[in-house]
Amino acid sequence: MSTTQHLQDFVTQVRRDILRQVHQVNSGHPGGSLGCAEYFSVLYQDVMEYSVDFDMDGKNEDLFFLSNGHISPVFYSVLSRSGFFPVKELNTFRKMDSRLQGHPTTHEGLPGIRIASGSLGQGMSVAIGAAQTKKLNKDTHLIYSLHGDGELQEGQNWEAILYAGSKGVDNLIATIDYNKKQIDGATDDVLPLGNLKKKFEAFDWKVIELKAGNDITAIKEALEKAKGLTGKKQPVVILMETEMGNGVDFMMGTHAWHGKAPNDEQLEKALSQNLETLGDY
């Protein structure tokens, strides 16, 4: 188990990586990436069992699927700092001939990625498929997945949610990045999601409400609780309330930084709020 201090330092460095990646190419999605820095860090540093000697089939290890692929900066930072590929490769994010495409892909062979994502709404189904194969293979490891809350507006999610609940896919822990924001504004203004807890429960899921989705300890507790609920004929979902842009004061409390990179001055200010811990790439 990692110490809380280590995880906090890890998160701070991940934030720097996110900001520096999107700043360098003046594109990408810092808001949601920052909002999920703690979740990714806890998942990869403390919760999942996996090998960094990457193998697509991932037998006898836990697997993670990112459905809202636009938050690739946080995924790339955490994968590299967990040992899947050299940290200095973050320098190639979104550049030509890079394995770090704008949205994650298996196509360029980046270790740690098992499916392309970006076109929203597909990851829940993919995660269910991988979970079913785990069962066929008598592999007791778990499938984790992350989805945007706005992404739940894609209808395919509800096909998948119905299927997983009805068929009792109980080796899957899905997490919803419940920041209540999307590109055009608040989800409540774009297309209200209503009561997500009741909706998932109505589809026969176990629901964990995580109010402090940017708190390392709370995330750990929620994931451990979720693990304890697996294997009981129901899928598990964590409604993780996060702050888009978390850790950078001027990026918080707004949807404006969903898909916008900071300029030089903004970068400097953001980095000054997150001092180097594990060494910049």
Partner 1 sequence: MKIYKNTGNIDTRSGFGAGLAELGKTNPNVVALCADLTGSLKMDEFKDNHPERFFQIGIAEANMICIAAGMTIGGKIPFTGTFANFSTGRVYDQIRQSVAYSGKNVKICASHAGLTLGEDGATHQILEDLGLMKMLPGMTVINTCDYNQTKAATLAIAEYEGPVYLRFGRPKVANFTPEDQKFEIGKAVHLTEGNDVTIIATGHLVWEALEAAKILEEKGISAEVINIHTIKPLDETAILKSIRKTKCVVTAEEHNFLGGLGESVARTLTLNYPAPQEFVATNDTFGESGEPLMLLDKYGLNAKAIIEKAEAVILRK
The span of 117-125, 203-211, 214-222, 243-251 binding partner 1 (CB under 8 A) equals: 117-125
Please tell me whether residue 126 binds partner 1 under the rule CB under 8 A: yes
Scan residues 56-85 and list those touching partner 1 (CB under 8 A).
Answer: 56-59, 63, 65
Q: Choose the binding region for partner 1 from 71-79, 81-89, 118-126, 191-199 (rule: CB under 8 A).
A: 118-126
CA torsion 221-226-244-48 (nearest 10°) is 80
Q: How far is the CB of 103 from partner 1 (least distance, A)?
A: 9
Binders of partner 1 among 145-174, rule CB under 8 A?
Answer: 155-156, 159-160, 162-163
Of 139, 149, 170, 177, the one binding partner 1 by CB under 8 A: 139
Classify 185 in phi/psi space as left (phi over 0), alpha (psi -120 to 50) or beta. left
* Token representation of residue 75: 């995924």
Give 20 or 114: the residue with its C-beta nearer to partner 1: 114
Q: At CA 21, angle to CA 255 and CA 246, rounded to 5?
A: 35
Gap between the Cα atoms of 7 and 173, Å rounded:
21
- Write the interaction track for partner 1 spanning residues 6-45; mark x where CB under 8 A is met and - where it is not: ----------------------------------------
**Residues 90-109, interacting with partner 1 (CB under 8 A):** 105-107
Q: Which stretch binds partner 1 (CB under 8 A): 74-82, 134-142, 193-201, 251-259?
A: 134-142
User: What track of x and - describes contact with partner 1 for positions 196 through 235 (by CB under 8 A)?
Assistant: ----------------------------------------
Residues in the chain: 281
Among 48, 116, 193, 218, which residue interacts with partner 1 (rule: CB under 8 A)?
Answer: 116
Q: Can you list the alpha helix ranges (DSSP code H) found in the chain?
A: 4-25, 30-35, 37-42, 72-81, 123-136, 156-167, 187-190, 196-202, 216-229, 264-272
What is the C-alpha to C-alpha distance for residues 129 and 42, in angstroms, rounded to an integer? Answer: 24
* CA dist 185 → 102, 104, 157, 180 (Å): 22, 24, 21, 9
Token output for 83? 């040992």
Stretch that binds partner 1, among 13-21, 77-85, 121-129, 240-248 (CB under 8 A): 121-129
Q: Is 112 in the site for partner 1 (CB under 8 A)?
A: no
Pairing outcome for strands 181-182 and 236-241: unpaired
Q: Which secondary-structure segment (H or E) carries 117?
A: none
CA-based nearest residue to 267, from 24, 14, 7 = 24
- CB-CB contact of 107 with 115 (8 Å): no
CB of 250 to partner 1, least distance (A): 34
What is the nearest approach in angstroms of partner 1 to the Cβ of residue 133?
4
Q: Which of 119, 140, 195, 254 binds partner 1 (CB under 8 A)?
A: 119
Binding site for partner 1 (CB under 8 A): 56-59, 63, 65, 105-107, 114-119, 121-123, 125-134, 136-137, 139, 155-156, 159-160, 162-163
